[in-house]
Amino acid sequence: MINKLIAKIQKMNAPIVVGLDPMMKFVPDHIRKAAFSEYGETLEGAAEAVWQYNKGIVDAIYDLVPAVKPQIAMYEQFGIPGLIAFKKTIDYCKEKDLVVIGDIKRGDIGSTSEAYAVGHLGQVYLGSGSYYGFDEDFATVNPYLGSDGVKPFLKVCAQEKKGIFVLVKTSNPSSGELQDRLVKDGDTQKPLYEIVGGMVDAWAREYMPGQGNYSYVGAVVGATYPEQGKILREVMPKSFILVPGYGAQGGKGADLVHFFDKDGLGAIVNSSRGIIAAYQQEQYARFGGECYADASRAAVLAMREDIGTALGRL
């Protein structure tokens, strides 16, 4: 799946992933009204609104970007109906041949992480049959519990030829409270994110697909921390970096250069609200709510240009 992701990035010249993180305040009036009039102002109504909103965006951008990243929390907040919308979104994106990165940030003790890995990337075996639960292509994984919590995902990735992105240095303002802590490492000291980066690198080298330069095991490093990105790029040469925090969170194209390898690969940059709620920004207000998906398409094109310029490709 990492090779498919890379091939799509190259074909589209777009190391871009669109974060499908629908908040109700982003959903245009006409979609919300239609959903609520059909299902009432209920969780089912909210889930229908979210699904229709996503579908419009996917239809408008699937030929421009290689991948989408639905953030499961935004669906989970609507309970079971929300999670049904999450699953519908995954299935629809896969129909459109988009690579789906499930932003689930799971991580637990061994047997429990195995259940998450099976549910999101793998299949459960029941009698003579087997079934995929959510069936994303990649998942994000939290490393706080150590290798016990990550290895079950690695095993499923190897079986299914899928991948993970391990949280190393997250994009949020408080990420440094633990991740930047200086940690004893032999006779020297390193920030915790470098320790985690080193663990990711070891897993990455162990889980390489048959061909290609990059591992099934990638990392999450926020666009908002370009200096750390530069260091981590060197610490994890076999890992693709998923870079959130571009756009609404403050990261800019020029900040991104160090996340990429010399081959121009090695990173994929996420933008969520900057694209999916583009019509609410002054720059794209001309589209209005009715044409929100066209605004998203325009925002993708602008992001592609920004990143292309930063990488010296344009």
Decide if residue 129 touches a copy of itself (CB under 8 A).
yes
Instruction: Please identify which residue in the block is written with the tokens 């003579």.
Output: 128
Residue numbers 72-91 binding a copy of itself by CB under 8 A: 73-74, 76-80, 82-84, 87
By C-alpha distance, which of 145, 189, 152 is closest to 167? 145
How far apart, in Å, are the Cα atoms of 25 and each of 74, 237, 247, 280? 12, 39, 18, 10
Is residue 105 annotated as part of the catalytic site, yes or no?
yes
Secondary structure element (H or E) that encloses residue 106, with its range:
strand 99-106
Minimum CB separation of residue 88 from a copy of itself in Å reads 10
Residues 6 or more apart whose Cβ sits within 8 Å of residue 286:
none
Q: How far is the CB of 47 from a copy of itself (least distance, A)?
A: 11
Is the Cβ of residue 2 or residue 168 nearer to a copy of itself in the bound state? Answer: 168
What CA dihedral angle connects 125, 128, 134 and 138, to 10 degrees? 60
Q: Which stretch binds a copy of itself (CB under 8 A): 60-68, 194-202, 263-271, 295-303?
A: 194-202
CB of residue 280 to a copy of itself, shortest distance in Å:
15
In the complex, least distance from residue 281 CB atom to a copy of itself, rounded to whole angstroms: 17
Does position 124 interact with a copy of itself (CB under 8 A)? The reply is yes
Tokens matching residue 305: 């240009």
Q: Where in 17-56 is the site for a copy of itself (CB under 8 A)?
A: 21, 23-24, 36, 41-43, 45-46
Contact 124, 118 (CB under 8 A): yes
Listed residue (162, 156, 74, 86) closest to 123, CA to CA: 156
Restricting to residues 134-163, name those near a copy of itself by CB under 8 A.
134, 142-149
Looking at this protein, which amino acid is placed at residue 216?
Answer: Y
171 is a contact residue toward a copy of itself (CB under 8 A) = yes
Count of residues interacting with a copy of itself (CB under 8 A): 72
CB 272 within 8 A of CB 18: yes
User: Which residues carry out catalysis?
Assistant: 105
